[in-house]
Structure 1
Amino acid sequence: MFQRVSSRSSRASALRARAAVLAVGLGASVALGAGVAAAADAAPTASTAVQAQSVVQAKVAKTTTAGQAKAQVAKKAAAKKAAEKKVAAKKAAAKKKVSWIDPVRKYTLTASFAQAGGMWQSTHSGQDFAVPTGTKVMAAHGGTVVKAGGNGAGDGPAYGNAIVIKHGSGTYSQYAHLSRIDVRIGQIVKTGQRIALSGNTGNTSGPHLHFEIRTTANYGSAIDPVKFLHAKGVHV
């Protein structure tokens, strides 16, 4: 009798253990299925995120490219403006540089301002530029011809043929000992314009151009012409 009860109890225990095993297996299957389902649900979400990230990156790249292009255009515009400013500055400097010029080219300086000597009543009133007869004489600066002719254009026979040009700010330039005069009184001349040919007229010891800077049109108001031209940026 005892043995039957024990046998039944053993079978019942075995059945309960099997049921427990089946329950555990069933739970694992359910859990695994749920995980697969969750993974399946998560897959579309991850793909959407990647697509969204790609869109953002594309927009950033487009914005960056546009910004770089704009910066490049601005850089080129700034460089062009700087170049134009540099050219304008050079032109202004060149214009300022040619405001006054030497009255002749390829010369040798001889008698200078205030130099003493027997050729003049007191001291020399200008600067002499030794050049061959027939050398082109140019207006040292633009202005109006106020004197032109023989007898020093009214300043005396020692000057020979002469010209006086009136400039701005009470400044006059005089050119003497000329072989030919190419301008007339009242004529407006430009800087560098030919006004005469050099010569050997008047009181001279050889062909040259006598050049003066004056504060009036007449003899006796001369100042140092070389110092004056240096102040104007002219290398004499």
Structure 2
Amino acid sequence: MSQRTKSRIPGTTQLRARAAFLALGLGASAVLGAGAAVAADTRASAVALPATAAASVQQQAVAQAKAAAQSKNKATAKKAAAKPAAKKAASWVDPVKKYKLSASFAQAGNLWSSTHSGQDFAVASGTQVVAAHGGTVVKAGGNGAGDGPAYGNAVVIKHGNGTYSQYAHLSRVDVKAGQVVKTGQRIALSGNTGNSSGPHLHFEIRTTANYGTAVDPVAFLRSKGLSI
């Protein structure tokens, strides 16, 4: 009986050894397979991470560019809002500066044949006289530019909508008939010529180029926004 036992033990030991060897081989294969899988995942992550980072950087750059554009637009809008609006050119202007109003329109007196036909602006002789509004010179020269010696040297300018302006008692005339002038352009120098009691500018607004069609020049200029 002891001999049979001895004869079985070596066989059993060999079978167990083979089984152990096979198990070891299967375990090694499993371990190697798992290692390969982990390595593959690591490589995949190593490849995927840079792509994800690049996308993140690109998105961040786009966001920053958008924010910069919005900031620039806001700055531009703020600057435009802060910038004062361009001043509109005056439609009508005073014919002289630094004046005092003297004889007024329709004022009675022995200096005129009936009543005063315009507004007098008291200024020193040689004061610059400008066109109250742009237009075309239709009269210029002595003898009231054709309206009579009482006006002395004079100028009449035709404007739009049937309106004319007249400037009289001038010491010098700087324009001629047919000349186009702009608003505020110098046309003469004030004086004391004609029927005048002292240096001043006689100014009229007329509905024609000729004497006898004058309207209140102060009311007219005030209607154009001037504070006479």
TM-score where L is the length of structure 1: 0.70
Post-superposition CA distance 1:123-169 (Å, at most 9, x none): 43322211101111111222211111223222233322211011122
The residue aligned with 1:57 is: 53
**How large is the RMSD of aligned CA atoms in angstroms?**
3.8
- Secondary structure of the 1:146 match is strand
Matching residue's letter, 1:153: A
Matching residue's letter, 2:122: A
Deviates more, 1:39-48 or 1:106-115: 39-48
- Larger proportion of helix: 1
**Using a 3 Å threshold, how does the CA distance of structure 1 residues 123 and 27 change in structure 2: closer, same or farther?**
farther
The partner residue of 2:134 within 135, 142, 150 is 142
TM-score where L is the length of structure 2: 0.72
The residue aligned with 1:45 is: 41
Deviation at 1:178?
Answer: 0.8
**Using a 3 Å threshold, how does the CA distance of structure 1 residues 164 and 39 change in structure 2: closer, same or farther?**
same
Matching residue's letter, 2:92: W
| Cα distance in structure 1, aligned partners of 2:178 and 2:139 | 8
1:151 aligns with 2:148: no
Deviation at 1:122?
Answer: 3.9
The residue aligned with 1:11 is: none
- The sequence identity of aligned pairs, in percent, is 62
The residue aligned with 1:210 is: 202
Q: How does 1:1-236 map to 2 (within 5 A)?
A: 34=30, 37-38=33-34, 40-49=36-45, 51-66=47-62, 68-69=64-65, 72=68, 75=72, 79=76, 83=80, 90=86, 93-94=87-88, 96-97=89-90, 99-236=91-228
Structure 2: which 5+ residue stretches go unaligned? 6-11
| Cα distance in structure 2, aligned partners of 1:129 and 1:103 | 9
Deviates more, 1:138-147 or 1:44-53: 44-53
Please identify runs of 4+ aligned residues in structure 1 that moved more than 6 A.
Answer: 26-33
Structure 1: which 5+ residue stretches go unaligned? 1-7, 9-14
Post-superposition CA distance 1:29-83 (Å, at most 9, x none): 9669736742551343244235424323323422542464367468469939x85
Post-superposition CA distance 1:178-219 (Å, at most 9, x none): 111122222222222221111112222221101112221112
The residue aligned with 1:12 is: none
The residue aligned with 1:5 is: none
| Cα distance in structure 2, aligned partners of 1:49 and 1:113 | 98
Q: How many residues align?
A: 213
Post-superposition CA distance 1:4-27 (Å, at most 9, x none): xxxx9xxxxxx9xxx8xxx99x97
Deviation at 1:100?
Answer: 2.4
Matching residue's letter, 2:182: K
| Cα distance in structure 1, aligned partners of 2:176 and 2:130 | 14
**Using a 3 Å threshold, how does the CA distance of structure 1 residues 190 and 70 change in structure 2: closer, same or farther?**
same
Deviation at 1:176?
Answer: 0.7
